[in-house]
Amino acid sequence: MITVHVEAPYASFRKSYARSFAESYPFAPPATVYGMLLSLVGERSRARHAGVRLAFAYARQPAVATTLRKLSRYKYGVASKQEKLGNAPDFVETLCGVDFLCWIDSSGEAAPALRGAAATRLEERIQQAALSPETITRSGIVCLGLSDDAVDAVSLVSQPEGQWRWLVPDEAGEVELPTWVDHVGSFHTRWRRFRFDAEPRQVSGSPPPERFVPIDDPRPGPGS
């Protein structure tokens, strides 16, 4: 298990069913953080490290800014509509001052179990990317969500400490976030509910198992 500290000046995590008003999830969804970690290590396959477990603690609840931006409405295969109707101004929510710790536990990854002990786990690849970034090949910069939401830093933390507010999986929680996103339709999108601690707590050592959320691939495998 390893811990990384993620800092981003701003980011927008558009809700799955948001329409003209682009509401943002109040925190970085686990699915988005997983995608950012894959980008960090230069991995293109989302299924490569499925089964990894993530836990989150925030320095604070990110502030929300509402801006008026031009949005593209018809992105795929409708060039004629895009030219005439596709670009229009809309209100967009953006989170400001995103600052959190993420614990990565690769013990449950499916790919290493299938490929044998020689397969490299996500936490090992993150360590390599942090310590030897020149060895990583990726397309573009590391972003948290949209391609213009670049992160300031993703750094390894050997001994997490200080006051942080936990984002805890809780079926009765008030926050719903996607853990896996179906980018074609919505059939394979999965959500979990979370509770955000009202008060910061001292962080030391590894989180208990109940604070982790698994990133499971719901899509059927070959031959299913």
| Domain boundaries defined on the chain | 2-214
Q: Which fold has domain 2-214?
A: Alpha-Beta Plaits (3.30.70)
Which residues share a beta bridge with 194? 169, 175
Task: Determine what percent of the chain is predicted with pLDDT higher than 70.
Answer: 86
Q: Could you give the dihedral angle defined by the CA atoms of residues 25, 28, 32 and 34, in that order, rounded to the nearest 10 degrees?
A: -150
Per-residue pLDDT band for 224 (boundaries 50, 70, 90) equals very low
Q: What number is the average pLDDT over the span 55-67? A: 95
CA angle 208, 154, 149 (to 5 degrees): 115
For residue 43, pLDDT over 80 is answered with yes
Q: What number is the average pLDDT over the span 53-69? A: 94
Give 118: exposed, middle or buried? Use CB within 10 Å, 0-12, 13-18, 19+: exposed
**What DSSP element (H or E) covers 102?**
strand 87-105
**Cα distance from N-terminal residue to C-terminal residue, the chain:** 31
CA angle 28, 34, 40 (to 5 degrees): 110
- pLDDT: is 21 or 118 the higher one? 21
- pLDDT: is 115 or 91 the higher one? 91
So what's the pLDDT on residue 183? 73
Cα→Cα distances 224→50, 110, 157, 221, Å = 17, 16, 40, 6
The Cα 190–Cα 217 span in angstroms is 9
What is the overall mean pLDDT for the chain?
87
So what's the pLDDT on residue 109? 92
Amino acid at the residue 18: A
So what's the pLDDT on residue 139? 82
Q: What number is the average pLDDT over the span 25-50? A: 95
Give 126: exposed, middle or buried? Use CB within 10 Å, 0-12, 13-18, 19+: buried
Per-residue pLDDT band for 99 (boundaries 50, 70, 90) equals very high
CA count, 13 A, side-chain hemisphere, 53: 15
Per-residue pLDDT band for 74 (boundaries 50, 70, 90) equals low
Nearest Cα to 212, choosing from 194, 188, 185, 190? 194
> CB pairs under 8 A, 24+ apart, for 134-140?
136/40, 136/41, 136/42, 137/42, 138/39, 138/40, 138/41, 138/42, 140/39
Per-residue pLDDT band for 113 (boundaries 50, 70, 90) equals low
Three-state DSSP at 34 gives helix
Look at the alpha carbons of 150, 140, 156, 203 in this order and tell me if their dihedral is positive or negative: positive
So what's the pLDDT on residue 40? 96
So what's the pLDDT on residue 140? 85
- pLDDT: is 180 or 90 the higher one? 180
So what's the pLDDT on residue 84? 63
For residue 223, pLDDT over 50 is answered with no
Three-state DSSP at 63 gives strand
Q: Evaluate if pTM is beyond 0.85.
A: yes
